[in-house]
Structure 1
Amino acid sequence: MQYSLFDDRLPSGRSPRVSEELGAGSQFKYWSGASGHRYLFTRISPEEVSDYAENLVLITDKKSEAVVWLGFLGMSNEKTPMPALKPSQGAYVHLLAEDSAERDRAHNDLRTGIFSYIKQEDE
């Protein structure tokens, strides 16, 4: 059975059922890309973000669970650098990409799926 990860197409993650049943709550969450592929993320503390510089990191608003940033610290993208985490934000890391090519594919798929509702700015 396929589960929809987005309520009304808003980009918030959903905890795997087994995580909830084991009492781990939101320690693990899935986000879905434009392709429909689900990506598993692990919650990390703000202090740990720098430990995962080459991994895909997702920053959320804790209250709305909306994704506010997606990327990795080693990105060469000055337009959208990773913001400093605020107390009202949470961080998740995707650890299952085997290499940078797979990480980049996941990043593009997730970025397109998660941020598709945002109107692109003129460049």
Structure 2
Amino acid sequence: GNGFGYGLVDPGNPHSVARTLSARYYKDGAEILVDRGWDRPLGEQHFDDPQNQQRRPRRLTPRECARLMGFESPQGSRFRIPVSDTQAYRQFGNSVVVPVFAAVAKLLAPRIAQAVARREADDNDGGCSR
């Protein structure tokens, strides 16, 4: 395909997997849509059905994007988003997932400490170790 499309996320299914959040989400919000029970065959026959219109898929809010990227948890303190929705979608879409970054940093910390200790030992020995 051309790279465009959408993915429905079922909030009631704990095994539901979302597509990647991108910086262009603000343009159309079609990459990740939240399923609200829209009846597609009914929508194709009678698009203006008022009950079905209320169940149309919706895009994520900036706050939901922040949570997906690890900036806040529903139980935690609220993360202040001081920019427009458009800017928030761009910023969260360009971000690194915070918990993933923290896990990688935790794995790297011992290796960095070893490298620093080795360099300090080399400096103390006049660079003659190894």
Q: TM-score, normalised by structure 1?
A: 0.24
Which of these two proteins has the greater Rg computed from alpha carbons? 2
Higher fraction of helix: 2
